[in-house]
């Protein structure tokens, strides 16, 4: 896992990153993976993007990257490795508990 924090100095009142900016950066880091945005949140005080890197040959999730922008700070988090195994471990307690649940 790698984490980087950058201070951003906007040239106007609003900073607006696009998916393309992050996808180009991710492709430059590892062009062997197919990168897909799976989460995008835009709010008045911040923005969040989550991308996953998929090895299409092996049909395996090999990387996940999150970008969080708030006010004047951009945080980038990147995880890579065998994420399939990590997800199997994380979801193990939910095995056999499929379907909708009512709150309350």
Query: Is the pLDDT reported for residue 104 higher than 70?
Result: no
pLDDT in tens, 5-25: 999 887 766 666 777 888 888
Single out the residue of 63, 61, 75 nearest to residue 17, CA to CA.
75
| Angle, vertex CA 50, rays to CA 84 and CA 59, nearest 5 | 30
> What are the sequence ranges of the domains in the chain?
2-9+17-94
Q: Read off the tokens for 49.
A: 């993007």
Q: What is the pTM of this model?
A: 0.74
């Amino acid at each position: 896992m790698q984490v980087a924090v950058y201070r951003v100095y906007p040239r106007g009142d609003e900073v607006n990153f696009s998916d393309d900016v992050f996808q180009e950066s991710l492709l430059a880091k590892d062009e062997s993976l197919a990168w897909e945005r799976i989460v995008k949140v835009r709010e008045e005080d911040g923005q969040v993007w989550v991308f996953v890197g998929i090895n299409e040959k092996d049909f395996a999730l090999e990387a996940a990257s999150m970008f969080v922008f708030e006010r004047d700070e951009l945080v980038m988090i990147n995880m890579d490795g065998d994420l399939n195994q990590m997800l199997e471990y994380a979801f193990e307690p939910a095995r056999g508990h499929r379907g909708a649940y009512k709150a309350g």
